[in-house]
Structure 1
Amino acid sequence: MPDAPAATPARECVKIAPLPGAAIGVRDSKYATGPVLAVTCGQWRYLLHALRNHTL
């Protein structure tokens, strides 16, 4: 996953990036070579919706 500059410095941050095959990669920004959680675009939309609506 390529590194993108963070908007603000933070101690706990995640990076997201598009992956091949219509997936989204999510990882801990402190561990650039660590594991990546891959989710589908639909799963990503569901997660964002749930976070915005406080239903997670």
Structure 2
Amino acid sequence: MRFIKKMKVSTMLGSGFASVIIISLCVTILGRSQLISLGNDIELLANRSLNNLLIT
């Protein structure tokens, strides 16, 4: 805790902003991978289920 109290305000603001950017990047990467997975699942369901419905 002493280390944080001795930091300059500009250093604390910079490190806080950097951590927000890192967290945002992680959320973005996770969201993109989940959207890609969802798109693949929808495409699979559309191709398989639609073909089964059209054939019968």
The TM-score normalised by the length of structure 1 is: 0.30
Q: Which has the higher contact order (CA 8 A, sep 6+)?
A: 1
**Structure with the higher helix share, 1 or 2:** 2
Return the index of the structure with the highest Cα Rg: 2
The TM-score normalised by the length of structure 2 is: 0.30
